[in-house]
Amino acid sequence: MVRLYTRVKRKLGVTTSRRSHIKRPKKHGARTFRTEEQAKEYASKLKLEKFSIAPAKKNKRFKILQ
């Protein structure tokens, strides 16, 4: 096994022995778009009838809410 240093262990939440470390699947966030038009186009491709567009990532991007 590759050696993990302290900073990496803290970042990953791994114990010192690594024997009890269980790999967990990563949670993915919502898909974001640069403009509202792109978000609307994507929603129409998915054939969503009721949706709203909300700001995401410090109001620089937009996400679709159902």
- Residue 42 in domain: yes
Q: Would you state the pLDDT for residue 34?
A: 95
The residue segments making up the domain with residue 48 are 31-66
Residues of the chain above pLDDT 90, percent: 47
* Total domains in the fold of the chain: 1
Asked if residue 60 is part of any domain, the answer here is yes
Residue 59 lies in a domain: yes
- Say whether pTM exceeds 0.85: no
Q: By three-state DSSP, how is residue 62 classified? A: strand
Query: At residue 35, what are phi and psi to the nearest 5 degrees?
Result: -125, 160
12-43 pLDDT tens trace: 877 777 666 567 787 888 899 999 999 999 99
- Asked whether 53 and 65 are in contact (CB, 8 A), the reply is yes
If one compares 54 and 15, the residue with the highest pLDDT of the two is 54
Computed over every residue of the chain, the mean pLDDT equals: 85
In a domain, 39, yes or no: yes
